[in-house]
Every structure is written in structure tokens, then in C-alpha cells.
């Protein structure tokens, strides 16, 4: 089942495979308690229980047992540095309504995919290029990536994909996107363990 959050600046959609906390409290897109920070997330943070205790000790109020909510509150507490704290596999987007920014990140080994298209004003992202193609962008092939695949059976092309205009966020990287200007604020923060 697809769940959606939409406001005047963003649309976040999510189809959830429920593993931890099967209740309604675990549904995504998920927000913090005041609705100022929203997330759509794919993956698992293995040390979520350890981080839960740390966040509760710092005064955060948690309504679920999900690792999704741990990411939201860790970002509230530590900003992008929270990525250094996570052990696991993930691809997620956090929407900060107050700052009008998106923060997307991918795990250090690239287990969970994250693709995006930026046309100079908007950012479209998904775990699959096919979802981005449904937004009406060109389906023109990236010939260099196709040739590398045909000649060397290589599926890894850095940021390039089989489609022009669709990039892959590199493993262990994040980017920040300003919704007001339509520009990247940062691109390429390497994620490491603390």
C-alpha cells in the first residue's frame, strides 16, 4: 500500500515492507512530533535500540519502536553528523519544513539504492529509475553506461545510470537540496563510522 505526504513544496510517497513495529505508528512518510521534519526511508539501522536509549536520555519523545523514527530524531539532534552513528543499510530523504530543505543519504556500502533527477529547479528521487521516468523526463539512454555494461558486464558506473538525467547517489554520500532556490547546498558528504 502506498502512503503519501504532500504539501505546497514536496510530495513524498512510500510503499512499506513492515518488519519492525507493524502498527500504524510505523507507517511512512513519518514525521517528528510537531510535523516539521518528515522522512521516507528504506533500510534498517541495526543499532537503533542503542540510539533509542541515547535519544530518550536527551529528551526526545518517541511514539514507535521503528528505526525510521530513530533517524528523524538523530537528525534533529545531530544534523548530518547522525549518519556517522548509524550501522546498517539505508537510503532515505528527510524533509525539513522549517528550513525548506531536503536531505537525502545512502548507506556506506550502497546496499540500498537511491536515484535522483535534478533539472535545475526540482529534485525527483526514488529507489528505482523507473519511478523517476514516470515523472515525464526523457528516457534517452546514457550510451557510455550501456557500452560499459555490454562490453564489460559492468553495472557500476559511479553516479551515471543507463538513463541520461538520472544519477545514482554514491554509496556513503548525502546531498542537501534547497527547495526555495532549486539548488544543491552540498553534495558529497562521505559517511563513516564514529
Q: What is the pLDDT of residue 184?
A: 79
pTM of the model: 0.87
Give the helix ranges, DSSP H, for 58-180.
67-78, 129-133, 143-152
pLDDT-based confidence at 141, cuts 50/70/90? Answer: very high
Q: What is the pLDDT of residue 191?
A: 53
pLDDT tens, position by position, 94-111: 999 999 999 999 999 999
Closest to 184 measured CA to CA, from 110, 93, 96, 122: 122
DSSP 8-class letter at 25: G
Distance of alpha carbon 36 from alpha carbon 124, whole angstroms: 21
Give the helix ranges, DSSP H, for the chain.
48-57, 67-78, 129-133, 143-152
pLDDT-based confidence at 193, cuts 50/70/90? Answer: very low
Query: Which residues have C-beta within 8 Å of that of residue 143, sequence separation ≥ 6?
Result: none
Q: Give the rounded percent of residues in the chain with a pLDDT score beyond 90.
A: 71
Closest to 43 measured CA to CA, from 114, 96, 130, 103: 114
Q: What is the CATH number of domain 2-114+169-187?
A: 3.60.20.10
Domain layout of the chain by residue ranges: 2-114+169-187
Residue 186 has pLDDT above 60, yes or no: no
Strand partners, 3: 14
More confident residue, 190 or 166: 166
Average pLDDT for 30-34: 94
Q: Give the rounded percent of residues in the chain with a pLDDT score beyond 70.
A: 88
Question: Locate cell 554520500: which residue?
Answer: 173
pLDDT tens, position by position, 68-91: 999 999 999 999 999 999 999 999
Amino acid at each position: 500500500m502506498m502512503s503519501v505526504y504532500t504539501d505546497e513544496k514536496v510530495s513524498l510517497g512510500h510503499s512499506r515492507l513492515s518488519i519492525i513495529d507493524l502498527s500504524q505508528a510505523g507507517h511512512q512518510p513519518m514525521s517528528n512530533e510537531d510535523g516539521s521534519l518528515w522522512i521516507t526511508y528504506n533500510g534498517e539501522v541495526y543499532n537503533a535500540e542503542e540510539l533509542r536509549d541515547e535519544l530518550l536520555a536527551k529528551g526526545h519523545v518517541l511514539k514507535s519502536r521503528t528505526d525510521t523514527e530513530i533517524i528523524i530524531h538523530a537528525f534533529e539532534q545531530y544534523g548530518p553528523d547522525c549518519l556517522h552513528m548509524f550501522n546498517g543499510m539505508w537510503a532515505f530523504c528527510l524533509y525539513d519544513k522549517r528550513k525548506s530543505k531536503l536531505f537525502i543519504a545512502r548507506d556506506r556500502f550502497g546496499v540500498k539504492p537511491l536515484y535522483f533527477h535534478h533539472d535545475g529547479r526540482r529534485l525527483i528521487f526514488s529507489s528505482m529509475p523507473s519511478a523517476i521516468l514516470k515523472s515525464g523526463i526523457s528516457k534517452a539512454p546514457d550510451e557510455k553506461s550501456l557500452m560499459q555494461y555490454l562490453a564489460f558486464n559492468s553495472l557500476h558506473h559511479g553516479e551515471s545510470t543507463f538513463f541520461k538525467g538520472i544519477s545514482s547517489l554514491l554509496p556513503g554520500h548525502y546531498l542537501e537540496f534547497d527547495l526555495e532556490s532549486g539548488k544543491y547546498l552540498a553534495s558529497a558528504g562521505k559517511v563513516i563510522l564514529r
